[in-house]
Amino acid sequence: MASQWMTIGMMILCGLGMGTTFDVYRVASHRFHVARWLLPGFDVVYWALATFCVFNILLGSNQGEVRMYVFLGLGIGVTGYFGMFSSFVIKLSGWIIDRLKQLFYGLWKMVQVLLLKPVLWIVRIVARLLDVVFIVTAAIILWVVKLLYKPVAAIGRWSWKKLLPIRKKCQPVVRFYFQFVDKLKQIIAIFRKKS
């Protein structure tokens, strides 16, 4: 008899816990704007966890025997919770969730101010420094090329003059190449007009 009363007491506590968890879950899904199509899935998870917890407690209190007084205890717990504590738990859980959201928002702002903004500032400075280094390097390379251009250009002009006999011998080949390219362009143009 004592174990039965203990089981009824445990089931009443389970009913109170199930009601409390259900209200917290409802408030949280509303405050965090959970999509409506996800709610049936969350409901299934809630009921599966509630069933698992109730049977775990039943195993500990009366070796898992499911009797009528088990459902009676659960019913008393749930209806008692919704009759006496539901509105208070809804307000309290809403207040706690709002405070937690404010806390996480404040922590996120602190992370932004203390970590993200300095890192972004450093990245911008490094990017600007790299821009300056690139511009200076490009200017130095252009200046060196200009310095080297005059002697190389003089050598190129001298060697171009020295290669005049070879260039004269290669002129028929070059002329043939350009004539061949012109004929090829004309043939391609004719085929394009036909298509």
Express each pLDDT in 98-157 by its tens digit. Answer: 999 999 999 999 988 888 888 899 999 999 999 999 999 988 988 888 877 777 777 777
The model's confidence at residue 1, banded by pLDDT at 50, 70 and 90, is low
Task: Indicate whether 79 and 146 sit together in one domain.
Answer: no
Question: Does the residue 111 lie in any domain?
Answer: no
Task: Indicate whether 79 and 8 sit together in one domain.
Answer: yes
How far apart are alpha carbons 156 and 152 in whole angstroms? 6
Q: What is the mean pLDDT of the chain?
A: 86
- 8-12, 56-60, 121-125, 173-177 — most confident range: 121-125
Domain endpoint, select from 26, 50, 84: 84
Which tokens go with 150? Answer: 């005059």
Confidence at residue 195, expressed as pLDDT on a 0 to 100 scale: 61
How far apart are alpha carbons 169 and 21 in whole angstroms? 99
Provide the domain count of the chain: 2
Question: Does the residue 55 lie in any domain?
Answer: yes
Positive or negative torsion for Cα 177, 181, 186, 190: positive
Averaged over 168-186, what is the pLDDT? 85
